[in-house]
Amino acid sequence: MIERTFTVLNKMGLHARPAAALVTALQKFESHVLLRKDDQEVDGKSIMGILTLTAEFGSKLTVTAEGADEQAVIDSMNQFFTDQAHEE
């Protein structure tokens, strides 16, 4: 199991479009992925779950990946959260 915390850098927060892109990015992995904000934890492959986090700009999200490709999940999330800073 690998866990890493990322900061939401998108000025609009993790709204529907980036949340959908996040789910799309995660669905290609076999690992079980959880996202946690404060004390709320959701399935990282569920757009509804991600939207309930109401992750605003500057929010800290902890990604936990467990499975055969868990390192690839964390690498992908690192790229996602870096790239999303430039999207609206």
How many CB atoms neighbour CB 75 within 10 A?
Answer: 14
Nearest alpha carbon to residue 72 among 46, 35, 33: 33
Whole-number Å distance between alpha carbons of 44 and 41 = 9
Does 15 participate in catalysis according to the annotation? yes
CA distances (Å), origin 44, targets 48, 60: 10, 15
Question: Of 9, 12, 13, 15, which one is the catalytic site residue?
Answer: 15
What is the SS3 assignment for 45? coil
Return the active site residues. Answer: 15
